[in-house]
Amino acid sequence: MRSVATLKWGEEGGEKEEVLNMPKLKESVRNARFRGGDVKRLNNLININFSLVVLKVGPDDTDDIEAEVDNPDVEAEVDNPDVEAEVDNPSASNKHIANVSIYRILNQSTKLAECGMERLTMLCWCCARDNVLSSNNIFKAIDEGFGKVNSLLEAGEKGKLKESGLFDNSVSNDLRKSNVITNKRLGNITFSCAKLNFYMPSLIEYIEKYHRFEEDDDPQATSRHQGRAKGLSNVAWFFARTGIYSERVFKHLEEDCFANLDEWDPRCRSVVMWSICILGKQERHEKFLKFLWKNRQVCPTDAQVLLLTEPTGVDLDCTEEEIDVLKKMVGTKGRVSISRGQDEVFGYLELITDGAVSEERNLNQNMGGGASDWGEYLNVDAVVNDGGKNLVVEYNGPQHYLTAFEKDGGYGFQENGVTLSKMDWLKKRGYEVVVIPFWEWPEEAEEREEFLRTKLGRRRTWAEWKGKG
């Protein structure tokens, strides 16, 4: 592996020396292709891919690697514009178009689960960094691995973990402690699941039942680049994205932040606060905010979370001047993006409601206060005036759902935590909400009008339904 790529970090994670042997890299990729059933070769390919991501090798540097991956099936997938779009996503941290072949080989391997949790952790982190959407099998292998871990821990057979093949020698120290994985590695996995929208039931069960956050003696856990606070905040983000609140998990996160306030990066603690807010735990959220306000530790991202609370808000004993300071910290309101599906739904709603759909897509007009005060919760796709009662219609695209692995080996979709929280927020304020999942929206234009009427429960025209026609 060192002959392919070497990462040498300076003290405190400073300057890094980058060494990449491209001829050796191409040879290794070719070997992994021809011996894809060999777990050792798969591990080597994961190491290579990790090096490419960390070294931020761009497409220009790796274009000729494609020639080394001569599997016709893989080449066909690389030529598919849909597949390229999955990796060449503007939101990706790095654009490694040439790595599509590597990810495809790994995702299609039937022996991926045998690579061990350490390698799979590296791989899922790379998928998240490169925004690789076609990685179901990779994440499924990780969740199945945690399922085996849970079974052994539940049976009181932790000693058998080392013999299970789930972990290699590099993580054997973890097995001597209470945990089977460090907070840092757990943070990498949960970050990846949250970013790529995967719901992992076995991983959730492990975190809720068995992981001890306080027992983490990873020597890198307190370093500037691999801080444990970042790992813990990623766990909070993952739970918020799944819509699951764990009293045990968030109680520890809160206590850790309170006890080590100076060591927690403001962005990390804001992620925890945001997660608590999204999950609707107002009492814990208020306690968190009051503690920070008392210590005058509120930062701009904290203030943004603060102003997502209800109009009566959290009683922080603030003066009007202090509230003004918080609002200035938040800054201007965020940009709202409208998808093609949202625009199509809005257009057909205008047609079938005879113009009763509001052109204002931000509910701050009804609630009072500015959009910068209330954030994304008040941005909706359409508001229909239904005889004096407001009806909210939401078109939910893929970003609103998680890929949920099921016990029988299959998988489906479920709304993520942010979407569930938004629906709850609207319903509590008296709005009737109609949700249109992206897979239900008809592709044929002539079917859409009837679909919306059926969805809204109105097969006649809007005027007829209101008794005017």
Residue 202, in any domain of the structure = no
Query: What's the confidence (pLDDT) of residue 305?
Result: 58
Residue 250, in any domain of the structure = no
Cα 140 to chain centroid, rounded: 16
Instruction: Sort residue 41 into left (φ over 0), alpha (ψ -120 to 50) or beta.
Output: alpha
Find residue 392's DSSP bridge partners: 383, 433
CB 85 within 8 A of CB 152: no
Residue 193, in any domain of the structure = no
Residue 263, in any domain of the structure = no
Tokens read off for 70: 């001569």
Note if the pTM is more than 0.75. no
Q: What band does 445 get if pLDDT is binned at 50, 70 and 90?
A: confident
Q: What is the pLDDT of residues 66-89, one digit of tens each?
A: 333 333 333 323 333 333 333 333
User: Which one of 134, 164, 191 terminates a domain?
Assistant: 134
Domain that holds residue 65: 1-134
Strand bridging mode 5-9 / 411-415: unpaired
410 HSE (CA, 13 A, CB side):
3
Buried b (16+ CB within 10 A) or exposed e, 297-313: ebeebbbbbbbbbeeee
- Between 236-250, 355-369, 379-393, the lowest mean confidence (pLDDT) is in 355-369
Q: What band does 205 get if pLDDT is binned at 50, 70 and 90?
A: very high
What is the domain count for the chain?
A: 2
Tokens read off for 135: 């990685």
Query: What's the confidence (pLDDT) of residue 311?
Result: 39
Q: What is the pLDDT of residues 237-260, one digit of tens each?
A: 899 888 888 888 888 888 888 788
User: Which one of 99, 119, 134 terminates a domain?
Assistant: 134
Residue 368, in any domain of the structure = yes
Query: What's the confidence (pLDDT) of residue 204?
Result: 92
Please list the helix, strand and coil fractions of the chain in percent, rounded to the nearest 5, in that order: 55, 10, 35
Instruction: Sort residue 389 into left (φ over 0), alpha (ψ -120 to 50) or beta.
Output: beta
